[in-house]
Amino acid sequence: LYYSCQVEDSVLPVLKPFTRPSLFSNVSPTIRFYTKGTKVAKPSKAIRSKLLWCKNNLLPVVVRQSLVTSHFSIVDESKLWVGYWGRHLKSIQYRTIKPFQKVNHFPGAFHIGRKDRLWQHISEMMEIWGSEEYEIMPTTFILPRDFKKLKTHLQKSASHIIILKPPASARGVGITFASQIKDIPKQTSLVAQHYIGRPLIINSAKFDLRLYVYLTSIDPLRIYLYNDGLVRFASTPYSSDPSSMSNRFMHLTNYSINKLAQSAGESSAPVPKWKISEFWAYLAERVDVSAIKQRIKDVIIKAVIACESHIRLHQKKHALYPFTSHELYGMDILLDSNLRPWLLEVNISPSLHCATATDKAIKTVLAKDVLNLCGVQIPPNITNALSIDYRVKSFDSNKSAEDMLKEMHHVGYFEKNMKIDPRIVDDLTGSDARILIDFEDELDRSGNFDLIFPTAKTFNYVNFYKKPIAYSNLLLAQWQLEKERRGREVGLAILEDISRRNKHFPKTVVLEISQFTK
Read off the pLDDT of each residue in 236-244 and give the average, rounded to a whole number.
Answer: 84
Nearest to 280 by CA among 289, 268, 291, 269: 289
Distance CA 345, CA 228 (A): 18
Domain ranges, ordered by start, for the chain:
1-86, 111-213+226-309+330-355, 389-444+454-500
Beta bridge mates, 205: 202
Q: Three-state SS string across 14-74, please? A: HCECCEECCCCCCCCCEECCCCCCCCECCCCHHHHCCCEEECCCCCCHHHHHHHHHCCCEE
CA angle 220, 433, 225 (to 5 degrees): 35
Mean per-residue pLDDT of the chain: 90
pLDDT on residue 308: 98
Distance CA 462, CA 420 (A): 9
pLDDT tens, 194-237?
A: 999 899 999 999 999 999 999 999 999 999 999 999 999 998 88
Distance CA 350, CA 171 (A): 9
pLDDT at 518 over 70: no
Q: Three-state SS string across 388-407, please? A: CHHHHCCCHHHCCHHHHHHH
What is the crossing angle of helices 357-374 and 61-69, to 10°? 50
Q: Are strands 221-226 and 201-202 parallel, antiparallel or unpaired?
A: unpaired
CA distance readout (Å), 107 to 53, 202, 319, 369, 397 = 20, 39, 7, 22, 19
pLDDT tens, 360-396?
A: 999 999 999 999 999 999 887 644 433 445 555 666 6
pLDDT interval class at 148 (50, 70, 90): very high
pLDDT on residue 263: 59
6 burial type by CB count under 10 A (0-12 exposed, 13-18 middle, 19+ buried): exposed
Q: Is it true that domain 111-213+226-309+330-355 has CATH number 3.90.180?
A: no
138 burial type by CB count under 10 A (0-12 exposed, 13-18 middle, 19+ buried): middle
CA distance readout (Å), 110 to 88, 121, 173 = 9, 12, 18
pLDDT at 117 over 90: yes
pLDDT on residue 390: 57
Q: Are strands 205-218 and 201-202 parallel, antiparallel or unpaired?
A: antiparallel
Classify the C-alpha dihedral 400-402-407-409 as positive or negative. positive
Q: Where is pLDDT greater, at 246 or 405?
A: 405
pLDDT tens, 46-57?
A: 999 999 999 999
pLDDT at 512 over 50: no
C-beta of residue 358 within 8 angstroms of C-beta of residue 275: yes
In residues, how long is the chain?
518
Q: Are strands 230-233 and 273-275 parallel, antiparallel or unpaired?
A: antiparallel
pLDDT on residue 5: 52
pLDDT on residue 266: 65
pLDDT tens, 265-318?
A: 566 567 789 999 999 999 999 999 999 999 999 999 999 999 999 999 999 999
Distance CA 16, CA 27 (A): 21
Q: What's the half-sphere exposure (Cβ side, CA atoms, 13 Å) at 328?
A: 28
369 burial type by CB count under 10 A (0-12 exposed, 13-18 middle, 19+ buried): buried
pLDDT tens, 454-503?
A: 999 999 999 999 999 999 999 999 999 999 999 999 999 999 999 999 88
Distance CA 104, CA 94 (A): 12
pLDDT tens, 388-410?
A: 455 556 666 678 888 999 999 99
Q: Where is pLDDT greater, at 250 or 30?
A: 30
- List CB contacts of 173: < 8 A, sequence separation 6 or more: 166
pLDDT at 151 over 80: yes
C-beta of residue 417 within 8 angstroms of C-beta of residue 411: no
| Other Cβ atoms closer than 10 A to 33 | 27
Give percent of the chain with pLDDT exceeding 90.
Answer: 73
pLDDT on residue 387: 41
CB burial of 374-384 (b: ≥16 within 10 Å; e: otherwise) equals bbbbbbbeeee
Nearest to 491 by CA among 452, 451, 449, 439: 439
Nearest to 258 by CA among 273, 279, 243: 273
Phi then psi for residue 224, to 5 deg, are -120, 145
C-beta of residue 233 within 8 angstroms of C-beta of residue 206: yes
Distance CA 425, CA 482 (A): 8
